[in-house]
Amino acid sequence: MTQYGAAILGCAGLKLSGDERRFFAESNPFGFILFGRNIETADQIRALTADLRDTVGWNAPIFIDQEGGRVQRLRPPMARDWLAPLDYVAQYGGDAGRAMYLRYRIIAAELLALGIDANCAPMLDVARPETHAFLRNRCYGTTLAQVVEMGRAVAQGHLDGGVLPVIKHIPGHGLAQLDSHLDLPRISADAATLNATDFAAFRAFSDLPMGMTAHLVYEVFDGLPATISARMMTMIREDLGFGGLIMTDDISMQALSGTVPERGAAARAAGCDVVLHCNGNMDEMVPLMRRIGTLSDVGEIRVDAALAARQPAPAVDIAALSAQLETIAHERPND
């Protein structure tokens, strides 16, 4: 059984330094993630993704956040721009499910052409009027039914395109009124509300291969953020039925306290399989990897299952998919 380092790691720039190559070869992280600082041209991205995999000697998954709208690392000419998801769903109305499938099937093709084969989507957080602005228009809907329908279309678009989807932010970020990049949101809703709406959205996706945690406190269940709460991780596994690989949201986000290695260790102890570290800072990554080590035996099984879901994508005609989107748009009645 392969011993994967229990992390998904970023790198600092457009190409790898010698120190990064040596560190990745030694630590063998489960995967890598790209951000704007890593992106210049299509050829450069393809070279970087190939180089990252070469450091570990296997076809490691490479992740990105390509939601469309405000959160998309790739922009023209490497990938097309999209409306924010909530606005896009509103634009297509009753045809939004098909439009979302086509959108993310196109996104999957764009990613795969650059050597990127995992995307941090679908986002299954249910939007409310009070949802913090950093998140709200990234959501797919304001009702459970809408989020589930759109989320399934998004997930299938990825899978059909050979790209692994990551559901987020499990078990639900929609009630947060603070930005967890900067602060720790605390959710005061009762258990019945959470189970009927926020948690239910994720329960409907228990078959998917990977999920990303929320750095939120659900006060009715625990005083710790879900990412480092053994009780919340148990709920995700047992009550939500999620058997896939669980990664943290970025462990450097300020919703969590303590040093980065301490946060990573707490997440692993709570039950997260993999720690996501995004900023590419070697001064944080090296001690983090020393602290969190390799995946558990059950984590290795979940990794293997996730990688098995990464199926080769058939050839696709992007122009034809785009034409389908245009047809749907033109056939929409004027509201």
Q: Would you call 173 a catalytic residue per the annotation? A: no
How many independent structural domains does the chain possess? 1
Q: What is the pLDDT of residue 45?
A: 98
Catalytic annotation on 179? no
- The per-residue pLDDT for 178 is 86
Residue 177's pLDDT band (boundaries 50, 70, 90)?
confident
Catalytic position from the list 19, 81, 87, 181: 181
User: What pLDDT, on the 0 to 100 scale, is given for residue 149?
Assistant: 98
Provide mean pLDDT across the span 12-22: 98
Average pLDDT of the segment spanning 17-32: 98
Q: Are strands 71-72 and 66-68 parallel, antiparallel or unpaired?
A: antiparallel
Mean pLDDT of 15-35: 98
Residue with token string 């990688």: 307
- Dihedral, CA of residue 276, residue 282, residue 285 and residue 286, to nearest 10: 160
CATH number of the domain residue 71 falls in: 3.20.20.300
Task: Give the pLDDT band of residue 41 (cuts 50, 70, 90).
Answer: very high
Q: Answer for the pair 157, 96: CB distance below 8 angstroms, yes or no.
A: no
Cis ω for the linkage preceding 122 (within 30 of 0): yes
Instruction: Identify the pLDDT of residue 334.
Output: 55
Range of the domain at 194: 5-331
The mean per-residue pLDDT over the stretch 48-72 comes to: 97
Confidence label for 1 from pLDDT (cuts 50, 70 and 90)? low
Query: 65, 125, 198, 249: which one is catalytic?
Result: 249
Q: 323-332: long-range contacts (C-beta < 8 A, 24 or more apart)?
A: 324/98, 324/102, 325/99, 325/102, 325/103, 328/92, 328/95, 328/98, 328/99, 328/102, 329/91, 329/92, 329/99, 331/95, 332/92, 332/93, 332/95
Helix, strand, coil percentages (3-state) for the chain, rounded to 5, are 45, 15, 40
Q: Which residue has the higher pLDDT, 101 or 334?
A: 101
Joined together, the tokens standing for residue 132 give: 């913090």
Q: How many residues does the chain have?
A: 335
CA 89 to chain centre: 20
pLDDT at 195: 95
Q: What percent of the chain has pLDDT over 70?
A: 98
- Please tell me the predicted confidence (pLDDT) of residue 324: 94
Q: State mean pLDDT over 309-324.
A: 92
pTM of this prediction?
Answer: 0.95
Convert the pLDDT of each residue in 226-274 to its tens digit.
Answer: 999 999 999 999 999 999 999 999 999 988 999 999 999 999 999 999 9
- Joined tokens for residue 274: 């993999």
pLDDT per position as a tens digit, 144-172: 999 999 999 999 999 999 999 999 999 99
- Cβ of 257: how many Cβ atoms within 10 Å? 11
Give, in order, the Cα–Cα distances in Å from 86 to each of 69, 175, 294.
9, 16, 38
The beta strand positions in the chain, using DSSP E, are 5-9, 29-33, 62-64, 66-68, 71-72, 118-119, 164-165, 167-170, 186-187, 210-213, 217-218, 245-247, 275-277
Three-state DSSP at 258 gives coil
pLDDT at 134: 87
Q: Are 140 and 154 in contact (CB under 8 A)?
A: yes
First vs last Cα of the chain: how many Å apart?
Answer: 57
For residues 277 and 251, what is the distance between their CA atoms, to the nearest angstrom? Answer: 6
Q: What is the DSSP letter of 68?
A: E
Residue 197: strand, helix, or coil? helix
Looking up tokens 């709570």 gives 270
